[in-house]
Chains A and B, each alone.
Chain A
Amino acid sequence: MLSQDARRSVEDTIKKYSQKRAAILSTLHIAQKEIGWISKDTIEEIAGILDITPIEVKEVVSFYTMFNLRDVGKYHIQVCTNLSCSLLGSRHIVNYLEKRLGLGVGKTTEDKKFTLSEVECLGSCGTAPMMQINEDYYENLTEEEIDKILMSLA
């Protein structure tokens, strides 16, 4: 269930549009931020709020890459492996993270702390290689930099 605060943000968002349904992406962002992923229950709740069917919500959720249909770790690490990042060693960055976290791409650590993914270009090509952890960008990555970042995540 969404919290009261989240519900209020959704209501505010709906006001931006002439049709309720247009608030769906914002609502999904709000829900994911609060709950971490988009469960079947959340889909039903959102469908109720926006007056559409659960299957319509599901269709949208699965079309866009940012929404997790499964629970992910507390920190979702997404490494860009598109061209500019690849040219500057993103493969190496992925390998290093795999080694440090002891897990493969697409997997979550047992303590549910980290999930590791590869993603397409995130618009940081001039500061490659880069990764995104939850909503934050980390750019110009090196092994030392990654060590520091991982240390800082409680």
Chain B
Amino acid sequence: MEKYLTKNFDVPNSETIKAYLNRGDGYKAVEKALKEMTPEQIIEEVKKSGLRGRGGAGFPAGLKWSFMPKDNGKPKYICCNADESEPGTFKDRQIIERDPHQLIEGLIIGAYAMGVNTVYIYIRGEYASQAKILQKAIDEAYENRYLGKNILGTDFSIDIYVHRGGGAYICGEETGLMESIEGNKGQPRKKPPFPAGYGVWGYPTTINNVETFSHVSHIINKGADWFKGIGTEKSTGNTLFGVSGHVKRPGVYELPFGVSLKEIIYEHAGGIRNDNELKGVIPGGSSTKILTDSMIDVKMDYDSLMQAGSSIGTGAIIVMDHTTCMVRVGCVLSHFYRHETCGQCTQCREGTAWMHQIISRIEKGEGEIEDLDILLDIASNMEGNTICALSDAAAWPVQGLLRHFRDEFEEHIKQKRCPFTDSFLV
């Protein structure tokens, strides 16, 4: 199993351009792309590789790039999504801290392919030290003439700017992100129009996740066929799984799509703390539906997780052992969405508030059995008819918990208290 994204994470000073160039292939893909390939060929190669977006939705990157208008004679932009706010997710941060030039190289290639001269990296405001590391790497790239005017002696020019957010999950949503770059509240826009037609300041814009761009130099260097040979047919390449919660070795693991959840938890992350019993796993960040201990043979790829009734999301795996109170989990998650809704859509604004209120009531032992159907009713009303997907993202975890752990909710109601006296949140 070959690692390529994280291969150089442990090299001394891995965040410097010196270390990046020393490894042999650093900035070689940019040379190849700019000097030997046309923009169309690059987009074709990325399409052929099957690379899918790593920010949560899994949209094919090459296809997205092909939507950008050619020679429109007006500005075009790339926004790199480094907002990383989906609870459980901490992988993009690793790339920025430990191999930022890999990201910068991917951005240059993407910009050249789409005819973009200005790139904004939207990094969550709390990542202050990461923003500094990134800025330093960008400065180094300018000094070495990989950024700026007429790079590598071609007529292609590119600027990359770091844009810090101000603390708001919704700014990770691509249209909320663009509003935020413009200096507004991060309230998502209705789609269509899509960003490739009407993006920041109304100009064509492509938004991709940090990890998505970080795969690109490897695809250019080694070819689409190499990339397609890793993973499964429809989920190609390696990806970064961030494992947290009750495991012995939490962390980020680079593995091919298609690896089993069981292998990730028990081999890579070392198994459950104190060798406790596993109870539930959230497979792809807080917005994805929980799986039970009996479901962990599932393969970690887009299709397999869909069949299991969940989704791979951001690859953020949150592991919970038998001491975990699932109603408490519901409280924590619904609190999050209630706090983060931007409030534009009634279903989302009201639904997130009601869900949190009802689950908190149940956790306190004050719930009624009817509450469970009310919760499901609210959740289904929140799905599918709002401006952005935050509303769905808030409904799914609640639906997942009630599907697999309904008895635990009922027990709280029957006993009129939380049965987990030494639960993780007492």
Q: Closest approach, in angstroms, between the C-beta of A134 and any C-beta of chain B?
A: 9
Q: Closest approach, in angstroms, between the C-beta of A65 and any C-beta of chain B?
A: 4
Of A16, A22, A63, A120, the residue contacting B182 (CB under 8 A) is A22
Task: Report yes or no: B424 in contact with A87, Cβ–Cβ below 8 A.
Answer: yes
Task: Report yes or no: A125 in contact with B316, Cβ–Cβ below 8 A.
Answer: yes
* Contact code string B169-197 (vs A, CB < 8 Å = 1, else 0): 10000000000111111100000000000
Chain A positions near chain B (C-beta within 8 angstroms): 16, 18-19, 21-26, 28-29, 50, 59-60, 63-67, 81-84, 86-89, 91, 120-128, 132, 135-137
Task: Report yes or no: A123 in contact with B169, Cβ–Cβ below 8 A.
Answer: no
Chain B positions near chain A (C-beta within 8 angstroms): 75, 84-90, 93, 124-129, 161, 163-169, 180-186, 201, 242-246, 250-252, 282, 286, 316, 318, 320, 324, 328-329, 332-333, 336, 339-340, 424-426
The residue in chain A whose Cβ has the minimal distance to the Cβ of B83 is A123
Taking CB atoms, residues of chain A closer than 8 Å to B201 are 18-19
Task: Report yes or no: B75 in contact with A126, Cβ–Cβ below 8 A.
Answer: no
CA distance A65 to B171 in the complex (A): 12
Task: Report yes or no: A66 in contact with B167, Cβ–Cβ below 8 A.
Answer: yes
Given A22-B183, A137-B129: A83 touches B90 (CB 8 Å cut-off): no
Of A24, A59, A65, A87, the residue contacting B320 (CB under 8 A) is A87
CA distance A132 to B126 in the complex (A): 9
Task: Report yes or no: A123 in contact with B166, Cβ–Cβ below 8 A.
Answer: no
Task: List the count of A-B residue pairs having beta carbons below 8 Å apart.
Answer: 138
CA distance A126 to B92 in the complex (A): 13
Task: Report yes or no: A84 in contact with B88, Cβ–Cβ below 8 A.
Answer: yes
The residue in chain B whose Cβ has the minimal distance to the Cβ of A82 is B87
Given A29-B125, A60-B184, A66-B126: A126 touches B166 (CB 8 Å cut-off): no
CA distance A153 to B242 in the complex (A): 32
Task: Report yes or no: B318 in contact with A125, Cβ–Cβ below 8 A.
Answer: yes
Task: Report yes or no: B425 in contact with A83, Cβ–Cβ below 8 A.
Answer: no
Taking CB atoms, residues of chain B closer than 8 Å to A120 are 85, 87, 169, 336, 339-340
Task: Report yes or no: A89 in contact with B424, Cβ–Cβ below 8 A.
Answer: yes
CA distance A127 to B243 in the complex (A): 10
The residue in chain A whose Cβ has the minimal distance to the Cβ of B340 is A120
Taking CB atoms, residues of chain A closer than 8 Å to B286 are 82-83, 121
Q: Closest approach, in angstroms, between the C-beta of A17 and any C-beta of chain B?
A: 8
CA distance A21 to B244 in the complex (A): 39
Task: Report yes or no: B182 in contact with A123, Cβ–Cβ below 8 A.
Answer: no
The residue in chain B whose Cβ has the minimal distance to the Cβ of A95 is B426
Taking CB atoms, residues of chain A closer than 8 Å to B163 are 16, 22, 25-26
CA distance A81 to B125 in the complex (A): 18
CA distance A143 to B321 in the complex (A): 23
Task: Report yes or no: B90 in contact with A123, Cβ–Cβ below 8 A.
Answer: yes
Q: Closest approach, in angstroms, between the C-beta of A66 and any C-beta of chain B?
A: 4
Task: Report yes or no: B336 in contact with A82, Cβ–Cβ below 8 A.
Answer: yes
CA distance A29 to B320 in the complex (A): 37
Task: Report yes or no: B318 in contact with A83, Cβ–Cβ below 8 A.
Answer: yes
Q: Closest approach, in angstroms, between the C-beta of B200 and any C-beta of chain A?
A: 9
Taking CB atoms, residues of chain B closer than 8 Å to A122 are 126
* 12 further A-B pairs in the complex, CB-CB below 8 A; given A19-B183, A122-B126: A19-B201, A22-B181, A23-B183, A25-B180, A29-B166, A63-B186, A64-B167, A86-B424, A123-B85, A125-B245, A126-B251, A137-B129
CA distance A135 to B126 in the complex (A): 7
CA distance A90 to B71 in the complex (A): 53
Q: Closest approach, in angstroms, between the C-beta of A67 and any C-beta of chain B?
A: 6
Task: Report yes or no: A64 in contact with B127, Cβ–Cβ below 8 A.
Answer: no
Task: Report yes or no: B129 in contact with A126, Cβ–Cβ below 8 A.
Answer: no
